[in-house]
Structures are given as C-alpha cells and as structure tokens.
Structure 1
Amino acid sequence: MRPPTSSFRDTLRRLIWPAVVMMLTLLVFWRPSVPIASMEQDNQRSADDRAAMSQASGPPWHYGSTLARYTLILYADLECPYCRAYVPPLMAWIERHPDIRLQWQHLPLAMHEPAASQLAALAECAGEAGGAEAYWRTISWIYQHTQGEGLGLPDGVLHPFHEALRACLASERPLVIVRAQADGAADNGIAATPTLHLRDERTGQSLWLQGPIAGDALLSAMDLIVTDDPASELAETTELSAVPDGNKPR
C-alpha cells in the first residue's frame, strides 16, 4: 500500500485540529462547573450554619443554634468552683449538639459576694458592647482567671477590654440585669449552682436538674421530656439525681 502523501496528511490535520480545539474548549469550561457548584453549596451551608449559631442580643444570653429544639437554662455563679469546672466542657458539648442551646442565668451566691456580682456585671458589659460572642468569650475568660470562692480576679488582672467597658461598669445597667436574674432564680426556689432547667421549646415540657450533669445524662433527660410523664421516669434514673452530699454544688 502506498504511504499517505504529505498533502493527505495536511488535509487530515486540518480536519482534526478544529475538533481537538473544540474538545479542549469544552473541557476547560465544563469541568470546573461541578466543583464550582459544589463550592457554592458548601458556602451556602456554611452561611446557614453561621446564621444558626449566631445569637440574638441578650440578655438572657444564648449559646448554640437558634434553631435548637431544646434550651438548657444554666443558673451559675462566676465564683462557683463547680461552675468553673463544668461550664467549659458544657459549652463544648453544646457545640456538638445543634438540637440544644445554652441559656445563662446569673445566680451570684451570697458567700461569693461582692466578687460574683462584679464579674457578672463585667460579662454583661462585654455582651452589651460586643454581642453574644463577646459575652461568652468573657464568661470563659473569667473562669480562666478568677481565683474563685469569692476572691475574684487576682490583683492587676484586668479584662482585655476593661477600658472600653469602664462606662458600662460604672453604671447600674449590668447590676440591674444580674439582680433581676438572681431574683428570678429565688422565685423558682433555686439556691445552689450549677442548677439546670431543660426545656422542650416545641412541647413546653421541662425538667429541673441539680448539679454538673454530664452530656450522656443530658441526652437521657432530653429523651425523658418527650414522654408523657417525665417526672416519674426521672425518679428512676439515677444519673439525673443530685450529686452526693460530699460534692454538693454551691
């Protein structure tokens, strides 16, 4: 067979080359379309997650998804050693469970005054200035730095934004909030910290829990309040009872 002539090869090249160019063009413009769409979906999901985790202005201040079915109301004292050990892991647990959010209620105990109310006022001023994120950062900062048991912050230790909060701290606004929340706790007969009130926002069912309740027990409590008679079942659930006398919250 006679080998193809150069003119034949040129003709073949002219016919194939436009097709190759067209295929490359399609690949360039078509291939990224899938990851771009995926990225847009991921960005939308991230935006939705951020919106769900964003908080309305307080007080009372909430931590967790605004879409959560359950609210865990925490009555706490910023000088309470049990609260100090319990709150950081509780906040981390809330982050892993989007169906429940945390609500803070100040309950400064008389034995820890005046430091407990002063630190509560500091947290409220931080929230007033910077919103929920600043509020919860300040709660964490206080527990990291306070000496506890009514001793307050060590000498010379000031909140990073103390100067910016000076006007608020000098006013009565934060203490009015703290006293109102403490009075509400007293009206409910609460005299120890930490105390928890778990509420199902869908049904209105609720459950009172005393002490630093672990995450697994909180999940059990969430299951209990969707039953017809959570109180009777709670009496049979030892994990949700108050802590032993030797470790009584205060």
Structure 2
Amino acid sequence: MKLPGCARSRAVILLTLPAAAMALGTAAWMFLRPDITAQADARPLHPAEAAPSTPSPPLTPAGPPWRYGPPEARFTVVEYADLECAFCRTYFPVLKRWIDEHPEVSWQWHHLPLAMHEPAATAEARLVECVGESGGHAAFWQAVDWVYAHTRGDGLGLPEGTHYPDLTPAAQQCLASDRPDAVVRAHAAEAARHGVAATPALQLRDRESGKVILLHGPVDGDALLSALDLLASDEESTAESSRPPDMPAASVGDMPR
C-alpha cells in the first residue's frame, strides 16, 4: 500500500536524521579533537629513547710551549730568549716578520732569564706565562711584545707603576701560584742540556728528518734559510753550529764577554 505524500516525506526524514547526526558528530570531533601528534611530540623522551649525544672533545691547555705560525709546519725555530735582553728585544719583530713570510716554519718560545738581568727577567717571564695561560697563544705573544715595548731593559725592568693592561682574574691567580716558575725553570734546564747559556739562541728542528741545528745570536734571514736547507738535505748535519761567519761579534747578544 502506498503511503500518502506527507507520510512518505516524514519517513524519509526520520530515516536520514540518525545518519546526519552521526556525520555532524564526526565532523565536530575531527575539528575539536586535541592534537595528538603535538602531544606526542611534546612528551618528554624517556632516557632510553633519547639519541646518544656526541661527547665534547677534552679541553687542551693553551700552552706552553707557546707557538707562533702554522702548527703543522715542517720546521720549528725554538728561541731561547730573555725579556730584559736588548738584542732579544731588537730581534723580536725581525724574527716575527720572517716567520710570517715563511709558512713552512713555526716559532716556539723558551724562557732563559739571565742572572745579570734578575729579578726583572723572571718577573716578566712569569707575567707573560700567566697572560698566555689565561688568554692563549695570541695573548702570550701580545704580552711579550708589550713587555719589550715597555721595559727599560738590561735588568732594569718595567718602570715603577707600569702594569699590564686588563690583567684578567685568571692571570692574577696564576701569578699568585708557582705554575709560571715551574715553566721558567723547565725551560732554563732544557737550555742548559743543549749548551745554551746566552740569548738569543735559536734551535732549528726538522720534524721530518729529526735533525737539529743550534745557532747563537740574532741570526739573519739568509742564514736561517741556509740552516733550513742543511736540515732538509741528505747530508749529515752537526748537532750544533756556531754563529754564521758573516755575523759580527757585536751582534752576539748577551754572550759572555
């Protein structure tokens, strides 16, 4: 039996209402639901789930030995120097400029305070050591340059009231300790083992051949290059070389007279 038109429409409406309600509820849940992904991302990781972290490399001390120039250079010029030595002071910028021009060579500083220049020489050596300890290699060489620029030399030391600028608390703490004294004593003992008793003195080392040449006095650039050629050659070099023949006796520095 056919239903009247009005009854048929009512039946269709009654049949479609549950489906419409279900669809509306689903849409509302999809719109209002919490962001499960965001919550999952925000959840703190369990230690077992965390990715292993790469350990930081251990900190290495800045020095000594204090080095200027490429650390991987084949040749090293080890200078034994006194911060009160007038010849060392004059030679300092000359050697620095030569090192800058020769990337195959690096420069290493060793303290050798001479008895005739004490106590100023050791006091200045302690100062530059502590500045380097607190600030690194560049700070060390800057301190050496500052001392040479301000000292009166020949054992007279820094003028009264002259202090290193911006001395850090770490450097001050170092100066209050015996750490710089140990370094200076070790350098002086090494110089004695190599027969170095005057400043400046240069020990040239070849990392490849293991050869060593010792030169006394402020050696000029050409003589340094000749010594490097000798180190690099296949010929046997002597362990020690006296000052180059063309070096005047007056240029020997604080050699005993």
Give the alignment's TM-score, normalised by structure 2.
0.70
Question: Distance between the aligned counterparts of 1:126 and 1:112, measured in 2?
Answer: 21
Question: Distance between the aligned counterparts of 1:242 and 1:196, measured in 2?
Answer: 17
Q: Which of 1 and 2 has greater Rg?
A: 2
Per the alignment, residue 248 of structure 1 pairs with 252
Per the alignment, residue 166 of structure 1 pairs with 172
Q: Is the 8 A contact 2:216 2:252 kept in 1?
A: no
Q: Which of 65, 71, 74 matches 2:70? A: 65
**Is structure 2 residue 149 aligned with structure 1 residue 138?**
no
| Alignment length (residue pairs) | 192
Q: Which of 123, 128, 137 matches 1:123? A: 128
Question: Distance between the aligned counterparts of 2:245 and 2:80, measured in 1?
Answer: 17
Deviation digits for residues 20-76 of structure 1 (CA, Å, limit 9, x no counterpart): xxxxxxxxxxxxxxxxxxxxxxxxxxxxxxxxxxx9721111100012100000000
Cα distance, 1:245 vs structure 2: 3.4
Cα distance, 1:219 vs structure 2: 0.9
Q: Is the 8 A contact 2:82 2:121 kept in 1?
A: yes
What 5-or-longer segments of structure 1 have no aligned partner? 1-54
**Is structure 2 residue 221 aligned with structure 1 residue 215?**
yes
Root-mean-square deviation (CA), in Å?
Answer: 2.0
Q: Is the 8 A contact 1:210 1:242 kept in 2?
A: no
Cα distance, 1:247 vs structure 2: 3.5
Q: Is the 8 A contact 1:75 1:107 kept in 2?
A: yes
Give the alignment's TM-score, normalised by structure 1.
0.72
Question: Distance between the aligned counterparts of 1:96 and 1:248, measured in 2?
Answer: 24
Q: Which of 185, 194, 201 matches 1:188? A: 194
Q: Is the 8 A contact 2:218 2:252 kept in 1?
A: no
Q: Is the 8 A contact 1:211 1:242 kept in 2?
A: no
Deviation digits for residues 95-149 of structure 1 (CA, Å, limit 9, x no counterpart): 1111000010100000000100000000100111000010000011111111100
What 5-or-longer segments of structure 2 have no aligned partner? 1-59
Q: 1:231 corresponds to which letter in structure 2?
A: T
Q: 1:229 corresponds to which letter in structure 2?
A: E
Q: Is the 8 A contact 1:194 1:211 kept in 2?
A: yes
Structure having the higher helix fraction is 1
Deviation digits for residues 3-31 of structure 1 (CA, Å, limit 9, x no counterpart): xxxxxxxxxxxxxxxxxxxxxxxxxxxxx
Among all aligned residue pairs of Structure 1 and Structure 2, give the percentage whose two residues are the same amino acid.
49
Q: 2:148 corresponds to which letter in structure 1?
A: Y
